[in-house]
Amino acid sequence: MKRFVVTFTVLMTVGALAASALGSEPQVTLVEDESSFTLANGQVAARIAKRSGDLVSLRYKELEMLGNASGKAFGYWSHNGGGSLGTSCESSVVVNPKNNRGARAVVSVNFVRGKGGNLPADVELRFALGPADTGIYVYSIWSHAPDYPVLRLGEARFTLKLNEKVFDYLTIDAKRRKVMPTPEDWDKGTQLNMKEVRRMTSGVYAGQPEHKYDYSAVQFDTPAFGWSSTKHHLGLWLVNPSNEYLGGGPTKVELTGHLDVNTGAAPTLCNYWVGSHYGGSSFQVAQNESWKKVVGPMLIYCNAAASHEAMWKDALAQATKEAEAWPYDWAEDPNYPGGKRRGEVNGQVTVRDPLVPMDKISNLLVGLTAAGDASGKAGGEVDWQKDAKSYQFWVRASKDGRFTISKVRPGTYTLRAFADGVLGELSHPGVIVSAAKETTRGNLEWKPVRYGKQLWEIGIPNRSAEEFRHGDHYWEWGLYLRYPDEFPKDVNFVIGKSDWRKDWNYCQPPRIESGKISPTTWSINFDLAEALHGKAALRLAFAGSRGRGGIQVSVNEKAAGDTGPLPDTGVMHRDGIRGYWFERSLTFDAALLKSGNNIIKLTNPARNWVDGVLYDYLRLELDDSTSPLKK
């Protein structure tokens, strides 16, 4: 370790001398030996191991930013499922700063199938440094040839383990930023209901729980997150200049930063491009299919300021600059088209809901997603919430529905849109994007599905349970354990009287008391002026779920059906507020309803403590015979 430190002190000096000798502008240097590449520019120095493709050192202001306290060390790419990369690889210099007067260095570590690993793909790892960068760009290029076997990945990410003697303050967003427990505090803590949760028994958080999932975030809304140092006033941040390479679209929630759960509890940052959590994104490339994807470039950004707040704001400002520079000219190659080889799509989405006139649209997201079947089969429909194989391009539109999606890779896409206050989504297939061309779609009319007139609603269709009880501080561990005390007789919601912000819990968990797991039944009370006829539809939108038994529904004590098995999105036990979104509609004979008071009951027949559901929105509709009920 002593020789390691001395080596990098010398390298930093070499970088500084190079900048001085070649003029006032900083210059990039590249030093290569049998085992590693070292890229430096007088501000940062990064060393990449040739055998593993790991970023084994990143120095900034003469401090080592990375660490090896727990789990796998330093900075590395990893994946679950699909086989291993192996240790046999080809390393090369893609861009040599000696040939461009120190303007850029790019190096590569390329793992080719059949050379030491069993992953049915070629994976090239690249690292890049410019003269004024205070950080290193990292990206990977995945390739699957038609003669390769099926490629499946459960998770794939880039992870950083930081120097625990430097970093102590984690910032995810405005509500989640604080001095963290020390690694020693974590190691001494008592495990609670999961291996990722411990109650601290020492330090400033003694008596409080610490859970790594409490720092998960929507990737689309979190362009920069990282750690900073109270002592050294330095920060290290993961910056995504674009979300095009991240799976799951603009609602995907994933792990970001936390303490590693292994002994040593290193400060950790993760950037998932395939993520299994909160409903997950899926990934499969078929045999006989040719496929390539560039993941990144992402930026590992280092900065310095007097306060944690200033460093975070600077990282956010840097993220904006990176987004404006995307796609990077220096990274352009056949797999990564530059700006002149990309196109633009614009238009306007207009919502035509006969029951709810909407002049202004709240939080309208418009995106271009893969056309066809993501598994490689033609003619199918891609579930963009689960797709990590393809590229996606999303923007927030203006309140009048106008949108411009720029910097889009050429191809054929399906245009999709969804918004707060509107149940469902718009799907508009067959959008062709050409290089250096503007595609105008004009006015796209969105007619949300209505089965009939609306009798009542609970919540806001926003793909989240944030408007319900605890929704404003959902990231606290174990809120579901409070349910028996807060709702001793279960939820009893009265339409027109109850307030969903306090009377409707953010999740319907099992009743967990003294180690016993019991089902829960929620009641919705409402009055009708007269008996009804025809068909009624109970529309249930879910922001999180788990349970083979689904939700069982009764109307005035008579069985009215159930939702069927619900997907395991693992939201509740990971202290989430949103995950994979879906809707289930139950139709029943309106004769089950009556004049006067009515009660619809929702039973969660949970058998396990994790079998909780989160409702996004509930609505009861009646087919009034003027519009046919759609099943």
Examine residue 591 and state whether it is found in any structural domain, yes or no: yes
**Mean pLDDT of the 330-346 span:** 95
Q: Is the pLDDT of residue 395 over 70?
A: yes
Residue labelled with tokens 């579901």: 480
Per-position DSSP letters for 295-322, written without gaps between them: EEEEEEEEEE-SSHHHHHHHHHHHHHHH
Q: Are residues 422 and 514 in the same domain?
A: no
**Mean pLDDT of the 461-488 span:** 97
Q: Are residues 165 and 122 in the same domain?
A: yes
Write the pLDDT tens digit of every residue in 481-536.
Answer: 999 999 999 999 999 999 999 999 999 999 999 889 999 999 999 999 999 999 99
- Residue 73 confidence (pLDDT): 86
Q: Is the pLDDT of residue 278 over 90?
A: yes
- Residue 71 confidence (pLDDT): 79
Domain boundary among 410, 429, 446: 446
Q: What burial letters (b/e) apply to 391-401, b meaning 16+ CB within 10 Å?
A: bbbbbebeeeb
| Residue 624's pLDDT band (cuts 50, 70, 90) | low
Residue 593: give its domain's CATH number.
2.60.120.260
Q: Are residues 498 and 613 in the same domain?
A: yes
**Mean pLDDT of the 403-413 span:** 97
Examine residue 8 and state whether it is found in any structural domain, yes or no: no
Q: Are residues 136 and 277 in the same domain?
A: yes
Dist CA 609 CA 253 (whole Å)? 22
Name the 3-class secondary structure at 360. coil
Q: Is the dihedral of CA 369, 375, 379, 383 positive or negative?
A: negative
Dist CA 330 CA 559 (whole Å)? 63
| Pairing of the two strands 343-351 and 402-408 | antiparallel
Residue type, 60: Y
Q: Is the pLDDT of residue 17 over 60?
A: no
Residue labelled with tokens 């068909």: 535
Q: Is the pLDDT of residue 212 over 70?
A: yes
| Residue 24's pLDDT band (cuts 50, 70, 90) | low
Q: Is the pLDDT of residue 375 over 50?
A: no
Q: Are residues 484 and 613 in the same domain?
A: yes
Whether 91 contacts 71, CB under 8 Å: no
To the nearest 10°, report the CA torsion of 17, 23, 26, 31. Answer: -40
Residue type, 5: V
Give the contacts of 119 (CB within 8 A, at least 6 positions apart).
82, 83, 84, 85, 86, 111, 113, 151
Largest CA distance in the chain: 89
Q: Is the pLDDT of residue 475 over 50?
A: yes
Examine residue 223 and state whether it is found in any structural domain, yes or no: yes
Residue 420: give its domain's CATH number.
2.60.40.1120
Residue 252: give its domain's CATH number.
2.70.98.10
- Residue 21 confidence (pLDDT): 42
Residue 136's nearest CA partner among 55, 54, 232, 15 is 55
Q: Are residues 375 and 462 in the same domain?
A: no
Summary mean pLDDT of the chain: 93
Whether 622 contacts 590, CB under 8 Å: yes
Secondary-structure percent of the chain, ordered helix, strand, coil, rounded to 5: 15, 40, 45
List beta partners, residue 347.
403
Q: Are residues 349 and 406 in the same domain?
A: yes
Examine residue 5 and state whether it is found in any structural domain, yes or no: no
Q: Is the pLDDT of residue 379 over 70?
A: no
Examine residue 14 and state whether it is found in any structural domain, yes or no: no
- Counting every residue written for the chain, the total comes to 631
Dist CA 166 CA 160 (whole Å)? 14
- Residue 357 confidence (pLDDT): 82
- Residue 82 confidence (pLDDT): 80
Cα–Cα distance list, 92 to 39, 106, 110, 540 (Å): 13, 9, 8, 54
Examine residue 127 and state whether it is found in any structural domain, yes or no: yes
- Residue 15 confidence (pLDDT): 43
Residue type, 144: H
Q: Are residues 154 and 71 in the same domain?
A: yes
Give the contacts of 371 (CB within 8 A, at least 6 positions apart).
382, 411, 412, 413, 414, 429, 430
Q: Are residues 145 and 222 in the same domain?
A: yes
Please give the share of the chain, as a percent, with pLDDT higher than 70.
94
Examine residue 6 and state whether it is found in any structural domain, yes or no: no
Q: Are residues 130 and 269 in the same domain?
A: yes
Q: Domain residues for 394?
A: 339-446
- Residue 380 confidence (pLDDT): 67
- Residue 514 confidence (pLDDT): 87
Structure tokens at 454: 């609306």
| Residue 376's pLDDT band (cuts 50, 70, 90) | very low
- Residue 83 confidence (pLDDT): 86
| Residue 378's pLDDT band (cuts 50, 70, 90) | very low
Burial class for 352, CB neighbours closer than 10 Å (0-12, 13-18, 19+): exposed
Q: Is the pLDDT of residue 367 over 80?
A: yes
Q: Are residues 293 and 145 in the same domain?
A: yes
- Residue 359 confidence (pLDDT): 82
Domain boundary among 446, 478, 501: 446
Q: Are residues 323 and 353 in the same domain?
A: no
* Cα R_g (the chain), whole angstroms: 26
Residue 51's nearest CA partner among 34, 66, 63 is 34
| Pairing of the two strands 343-351 and 438-446 | parallel
Dist CA 119 CA 149 (whole Å)? 9
- Residue 7 confidence (pLDDT): 36
- Residue 86 confidence (pLDDT): 82
Domain count, the chain: 3
Residue 253's nearest CA partner among 210, 226, 220 is 220
Q: Is the pLDDT of residue 412 over 90?
A: yes
Examine residue 58 and state whether it is found in any structural domain, yes or no: no
**Residue 184 host element (H or E):** helix 183-188
Write the pLDDT tens digit of every residue in 83-135.
Answer: 888 878 999 999 999 999 999 999 999 999 878 788 999 999 999 999 999 99
Dist CA 280 CA 274 (whole Å)? 8
- Residue 373 confidence (pLDDT): 55
pTM, rounded to two decimals: 0.93
Instruction: Kindly list the strands in the beta sheet with 614-622, ordered across the sheet, starting from the edge strand earlier in the chain.
Output: 453-459, 614-622, 535-544, 582-589
Phi, psi at residue 91, to the nearest 5°? -110, 145
Domain boundary among 446, 470, 492: 446
Q: Is the pLDDT of residue 433 over 60?
A: yes
Question: Pick the residue with more confidence: 619 or 21?
Answer: 619
